[in-house]
Structure 1
Amino acid sequence: MLGSTGCGAGDITGSVVETRSGRVRGSATDGVHAFKGVPYAAPPQGVARYLPPRPVRAWTGVRDAVPLGPTPPQPPTPPPLDFFAPAIPGADYLNLNIWTPEPGSTRLPVMVWIFGGGFDTGSNGLYDGHAFARDGVVFVALNYRLGAEGFLFLDDGIANIALLDQIAALEWVRDNISHFGGDPGNVTVFGQSAGAMAVGTLLAMPRAEGLFRRAIMQSGAGNLCYSTDTANEIGHRLAAKLGVPPTREDVAAAGVERVLAAQTSVMSDLARRPDPQRWGGEPGCRVNMWRPTIDGATLPSAPVDAITAGAGSDVDVLIGHNSEEGRLSLVPFGSLESVTDEELFTAMRLYRLPVDRALPAYRAAYPGAGPGALLAILQADWFYTIPGLRLADARTSAPGATYLYEFAWRSPQFDGQLGACHFLEVPFVFDRLHDRRMQWITGPNPPQQLADLMHRTWVQFAHTGRANWAPYETTRRTTMRMDLRPAAVDDPYPNRHLWDGIDLH
């Protein structure tokens, strides 16, 4: 299955690998082979943009897999966060990028990455898997449909297209990854933010069962899901904004650019009606217009309920969050210092917290923190920390292991105000501190020893399903705090009881 190869330092001669659809030729640098833009499903065209993925059509000859493939259609990301989503036009955006140390039959652990971006932005092109392959892992980064293409719900028997894309990609990995040196029986699926939400949701989806052995969730736990009523309302709002009947054929006929513009317009409408338990929009947060839908078929129930009932119980899980997630949505835009006490109160009320108890409790737990700093921590608790704890609690009797972490290193960027914000752990996990795109968030001299620790931990987990600290259980809630002086701490969640009984779906 393997053609000519060159593996010397700096060598760019590519290998040819056979897949079920045809042969692909990649490149090789410093002993690592890369194959980019490899399709795992047919290019969505016309109404197929809004339908489940179809098998990729076989090709003859050798397909070039050196440049990055096209990226999913999406609205532009505003600066300074536009580095998250480099855009590449083209129809074949249901594609994979693969890095491997040795194509062939070596049967190495496989790690499949699902990018974040609020389910409406992002691509696999930002994430370089060289360090994973260097350290004995076959790394795969997938693209999936975003926004309306991925999540449009019209109560017509079709739902969660983006998640079906991810399942199709995992099926492609199952069927083809051995040719790239990977073990299809040892797959870890991992992601950040919306990607972590997707991983948590895949744990609960019957069609994903058996496609992965381990799961890592970085800032997300499958907690953001829509009821069919809310999803249907948003789908009909989009069709009304387009001025078309609420059918997939009519939405598709409106064209990609009009749909993207309509998405942005509907998000603006929803932002005037903030509701964290539906679509977000609270102070300092964007509207999360697109989410998985609990449709009863592809996703039978809320992920945490399915996991409580035993879904994914044999999967080993590593889950965590960053200490000050919300600072990424506040600091770069100059909003941290302008947050008022009233906006902090409003966020607490929207989150359904008992403000009379919650406000003094947060102020006591974080003395000296102003309203903006407290809002950043509050957002971390709502979106990531508490849902992660609930997912871990749901697995207390699972045979698979469960480990928790907290990333606490504070970025020096923006005069130290960026802190331990959302996404900051990603360049450490990927051991890509030298990547200039990542230095926007890490600063110019981030600590390599922390990247060594985190990257090594993720690779070890992919190999063994174990981490070097105690597994999670409800009596101690042991959590590894990732910082310059990493330490396992017990129950570092001072305000978790305030969230008891609050719906975080």
Structure 2
Amino acid sequence: MPHPSPRVTLTTGTVAGTESAGVRRFLGIRYAEPPFGDRRFAAPVPARAWEGVREATGLGPTAPQSPYQGDSATLLSSVEIPGEDILTVNVWTPADADAAPVVVWVHGGALERGTAALEGYDGTTFARDGVVFVSLNYRLGSEGFSVLDGVPRNLGLLDVGAAVDWVFREIAAFGGDPERVTLMGESAGGALVAAAMAIPRIGERAHGAIIQSGPLDASTPERAGRVTRAIAKHLGIPATRDAFAAVSPQRLVDARLELTRKSSPIPVGGFALALDPASVPRAPEKALTDAAAPILLGTNTDEYRLWLSPAAIAALGPLKVAALALFGRIPAGAMRAARADGSHGAEALGQALSDKILRAPATRLAQNRPERTFVYEFAWQSPVRGLRAAHAVEIAFAFGRLSGPDAVALSGEDAPQSLADEMHGAWVSFIRTGDPGWPAFGATRATRVFDSVSQTVPQRRTEVVDAFR
């Protein structure tokens, strides 16, 4: 039964949310000023104070982006909420929260798609289990990750940092403990969590980090700027702030989409974090080695099957596989190890690329801090479109809710709720205590394999991973 609108007073003003079944929701709260007009391609500016009470009952506008295309559009949902006030946070909190642990969710989408407004990112299950859940939006694509003359690097990451600063400053008003804040993200969101943890003011204060299938790399500005230069060339403009600011956000999105339609069937390029003294001085894989906070990280057994459909796999013959392996700089030893593990042709290439981008860096990080890192592998096989344990399938299990449309699109209608309860329970335990319930990676490379019957075992397929040393 709905309750009277709960109100929370922040340092900037008062917000009114909603309450139902013991969970309070405060949605679309501005943490920074809209990054348009004179603030376009500039570092985030903290939200100004307001008078009166602001309604916080609707999710905020989405960052400029295009929907998922082709086969991916049937698996990954897109939401468009118009407006410029895109730098917002959402809070789900137990009605009786008092110094409760906090988790901050950073969505994925290859740094150019996604939003906290997706149905699958509803934080009710965490709040139900005593955790204050915060999700956030940040700038995407050209607006957030262009490499332009006269523009700060990694603006989307700076947005994430500003949102986490907001959490540290304001979360006590919602019943959260600012000294027990865990960052959590998947895919590009995991990469941003890793990079944010490497920022001293965040990493030194955060209680922990959960990185689900997140790349741990950062590119040189030259390499990270390839997509920016390609867009500039496509539009016939220089790669400068003034030139890009003269083009509408939607035209920049459209230009990127026009270019991707000409690309390889296997994604090998796109927006990336750029090494930068002010924001990303070292690749997160290296920087996180020194982090004191515990880290929970892992990957899915068949990551590549989200990007490679069965039809795409069938269409990649031996010559194309060899060319793509060369273009993707896959060592011959890694391809041999992938084939020895039972994969062949495009399957072996997809597995090797997944290992290069995701699994090998995660393993190296765990090996460099073995007593402070907990590793998992999500192995449950989805029956949808041959996905098996593909990229992103684990999200619904970590959130503990399999009945929503986002979850059903990836996992089908009969996914095991018992596994979701188990995995979500481990995430909540880590958020509360820094321990998910199985041993740290250690010398035995202990890994929790989540499946119909889960078990903790020495890391599997080490031959493939170790080929990327």
TM-score category by the smaller chain?
Answer: over 0.9
Q: 1:189 aligns with which of 148, 158, 183?
A: 183
Does the alignment pair 1:86 with 2:63?
A: no
TM value normalised by structure 1:
0.87
Aligned to 2:306: 328
User: Compared with structure 1, are the counterparts of its residues 71 and 405 closer, same or farther at alpha carbon in structure 2 (3 Å cutoff)?
Assistant: same
Provide the rounded CA distance (Å) in 1 between the counterparts of 2:107 and 2:405.
Answer: 19
Aligned to 1:306: 287
Aligned to 1:373: 347
**Where in structure 2 are the equivalents of 1:410-429 lying within 5 Å?**
410-414=381-385, 417-429=386-398
Aligned to 1:285: 266
Q: 1:470 aligns with which of 436, 439, 447?
A: 439
- Quote how far apart the aligned CAs of 1:476 are: 1.1
- Quote how far apart the aligned CAs of 1:266 are: 4.4
Q: 1:361 aligns with which of 317, 337, 343?
A: 337
Aligned to 1:389: 363
- Quote how far apart the aligned CAs of 1:233 are: 4.5
- Give the counterpart letter for 2:454 in structure 1: P
Does the alignment pair 1:406 with 2:377?
A: yes
Aligned to 1:480: 448
- Quote how far apart the aligned CAs of 1:287 are: 4.4
Q: Quick check: 1:267–1:287 contact (8 Å CA) kept in 2?
A: no
Deviations 1:222-243 (A, max 9, x none): 22x2202223454343333333
- Quote how far apart the aligned CAs of 1:360 are: 3.8
Provide the rounded CA distance (Å) in 1 between the counterparts of 2:463 and 2:29.
Answer: 46
* Unmatched 5+ stretches in structure 1: 1-9, 272-280
- Give the counterpart letter for 2:84 in structure 1: A
- Quote how far apart the aligned CAs of 1:294 are: 0.3
Aligned to 2:111: 119
Deviations 1:32-79 (A, max 9, x none): 111111110001122422111001122212111112110101122225
> The residue matched to 2:85 in structure 1 has which SS?
coil
> The residue matched to 1:99 in structure 2 has which SS?
strand
User: Compared with structure 1, are the counterparts of its residues 61 and 79 closer, same or farther at alpha carbon in structure 2 (3 Å cutoff)?
Assistant: farther
Aligned to 1:166: 160
Q: Quick check: 1:39–1:92 contact (8 Å CA) kept in 2?
A: yes
User: Compared with structure 1, are the counterparts of its residues 81 and 37 closer, same or farther at alpha carbon in structure 2 (3 Å cutoff)?
Assistant: farther
Deviations 1:124-166 (A, max 9, x none): 0111000000000000010000011111122436111111100
Provide the rounded CA distance (Å) in 2 between the counterparts of 1:95 and 1:35.
Answer: 11
Q: Quick check: 1:207–1:298 contact (8 Å CA) kept in 2?
A: no
Aligned to 1:175: 169
* Unmatched 5+ stretches in structure 2: none
Q: Quick check: 1:107–1:178 contact (8 Å CA) kept in 2?
A: yes
Provide the rounded CA distance (Å) in 2 between the counterparts of 1:347 and 1:266.
Answer: 19
- Give the counterpart letter for 1:409 in structure 2: W
- Give the counterpart letter for 1:289 in structure 2: G
> The residue matched to 1:44 in structure 2 has which SS?
coil
Aligned to 2:16: 25
Provide the rounded CA distance (Å) in 2 between the counterparts of 1:246 and 1:376.
Answer: 33
- Quote how far apart the aligned CAs of 1:80 are: 4.7
Larger mean CA deviation between 481-490 and 378-387 belongs to 378-387
Does the alignment pair 1:54 with 2:23?
A: no
Provide the rounded CA distance (Å) in 2 between the counterparts of 1:260 and 1:66.
Answer: 29
Deviations 1:167-207 (A, max 9, x none): 00001001110111110000010100000111111222335
- Give the counterpart letter for 2:242 in structure 1: E
> The residue matched to 1:444 in structure 2 has which SS?
coil
User: Compared with structure 1, are the counterparts of its residues 306 and 192 closer, same or farther at alpha carbon in structure 2 (3 Å cutoff)?
Assistant: same
Higher RCO (Cα < 8 Å, 6 or more apart): 2
User: Compared with structure 1, are the counterparts of its residues 300 and 155 closer, same or farther at alpha carbon in structure 2 (3 Å cutoff)?
Assistant: farther
Does the alignment pair 1:458 with 2:427?
A: yes
Aligned to 1:109: 101
Provide the rounded CA distance (Å) in 2 between the counterparts of 1:173 and 1:361.
Answer: 44
Aligned to 1:99: 92
User: Compared with structure 1, are the counterparts of its residues 108 and 466 closer, same or farther at alpha carbon in structure 2 (3 Å cutoff)?
Assistant: same
User: Compared with structure 1, are the counterparts of its residues 69 and 136 closer, same or farther at alpha carbon in structure 2 (3 Å cutoff)?
Assistant: same
Provide the rounded CA distance (Å) in 2 between the counterparts of 1:45 and 1:484.
Answer: 47
- Quote how far apart the aligned CAs of 1:22 are: 1.2
Provide the rounded CA distance (Å) in 2 between the counterparts of 1:210 and 1:103.
Answer: 28
Q: Quick check: 1:304–1:391 contact (8 Å CA) kept in 2?
A: yes
TM value normalised by structure 2:
0.94
Provide the rounded CA distance (Å) in 1 between the counterparts of 2:188 and 2:159.
Answer: 15
Provide the rounded CA distance (Å) in 2 between the counterparts of 1:177 and 1:184.
Answer: 6
- Give the counterpart letter for 1:92 in structure 2: D
Q: Quick check: 1:353–1:499 contact (8 Å CA) kept in 2?
A: no
- Give the counterpart letter for 2:266 in structure 1: C
- Quote how far apart the aligned CAs of 1:361 are: 2.7
- Give the counterpart letter for 1:130 in structure 2: T
The alignment of Structure 1 onto Structure 2 pairs a total of residues equal to 465
Aligned to 1:72: 63
Aligned to 2:247: 254
